[in-house]
Structure 1
Amino acid sequence: MKSIVVACSNCGTKNRIPADKQHLGPKCGKCKAPLSLSAAAVPVELDDSTFSGFTSRASKPVLVDFFSPTCGPCRLLAPTIDTMARKFYGRVIIAKLDTSRNHITAAQYRIKGVPTLLFFKNGKLVDQVTGALPEQELTRLLEEFAE
């Protein structure tokens, strides 16, 4: 499980935040001040055991990137997905799921090609896009999705 280390802007203490908890409004362990993660946010890594619960309980819209590490277009899209996690922090939760290791969820959503992006609101699938989108197009989609 990935984690992020963020220094508190109030007291300077370094705080380790699990990536899958970054959207829950973390606070400094020492002074309890809210931590700003907008510059450090990363996509949440999901798997077959965490996907359903995470997307259904998320307090914000969720974008899930279904990818494979051996897929060329997926590797091209990965830096854009990382950028979107920071750019939309606090508005949209960006997550990813490796289809080569998580066949059950990929089959459940009938993922035939990667990269495929699924958009969830209130636990329900609301949109799906297949292919590596340019950063401007993905930004436009996420702006609409975040409303």
Structure 2
Amino acid sequence: MINEPIHVTDAAFEKTVLQSSLPVIVDFWAPWCGPCKVVGPMLDKIAREYAGSLIVAKVNTDENPEWAMKYGVQGIPTMLFVANGKVVHRQVGAMPEKVLRDMVAQFLDVVKTNAGK
């Protein structure tokens, strides 16, 4: 069971994110990005708390720009909420932890609801 964010390269993106059986939050970030440093610890907590039902994937856009370009990421942090290989929600920029937690809960509700259909 994965209980911390996993660092994903361009080469591993398709297998790790798009083919994942679990919902994935993809965090496109860079080491020099101030707002990314704010979001990082929140995602660490979420990865621990939702271990087994959600994966947090981090993509360093400086080292792995391919998928960021494919998804049209222009500002970081950008988080893509992905389920069954499809982007369900896109969040650009940092936000308070409560807002992020509400977003995660809503994302998992949508995924669960759609899985039942």
Give the TM-score, by structure 1 length.
Answer: 0.71
1:87 and 2:49 correspond: yes
- For the 8 Å contact 2:17–2:57, the answer to whether it is kept is no
Give structure 1 stretches of 5+ with no counterpart.
Answer: 1-21, 24-40
Structure-to-structure mapping, 1:68-147, within 5 angstroms: 68-147=30-109
What residue is the counterpart of 1:44 in the other structure?
6
Give the CA RMSD over aligned residues.
1.0
> How many angstroms does 1:56 deviate by?
2.1
Structure (1 or 2) with the greater helix fraction:
2
1:53 and 2:10 correspond: no
Matched length: 109
Secondary structure of residue in 1 paired with 2:80: strand
Give structure 2 stretches of 5+ with no counterpart.
Answer: 110-117
% of aligned pairs identical? 38
Which is higher, the Rg of structure 1 or of structure 2?
A: 1
**Aligned equivalent of 1:63, options 12, 25, 31:** 25
